[in-house]
Amino acid sequence: MSPERLAALLAEVSAGAVTPAAALELLRHFPSEQLPFASLDHHRTLRQGQPEVIFCAGKTVEQVVVIAERLVAAS
């Protein structure tokens, strides 16, 4: 999650546009998420200024798709 997206989410909670429970669900895997075949670092953008990358070696196409979907959903 980028700093801008996190700030926007907090502003939405403050304004009442998003419930705390909904925000908690969005942050559930923050800062990381463990899949059976990969560890996703959703906090990398905040720490490093660059988003997570997908190391594809040894993964199936289906696994890479799942990883990409999870990274996009968390961004």
Residues in the chain where the model's pLDDT stays below 70? 1, 29
Delimit the domains of the chain by residue range: 3-74
CA distance 74 to 35: 14
- Among candidates 63, 73, 29, which has minimal Cα distance to 54? 63
pLDDT tens digits for range 34-53: 899 999 998 888 788 888 89
CA distance 15 to 54: 35
Rg value, the chain, Cα: 14
> What pLDDT, on a 0 to 100 scale, did the predictor assign at position 8?
94
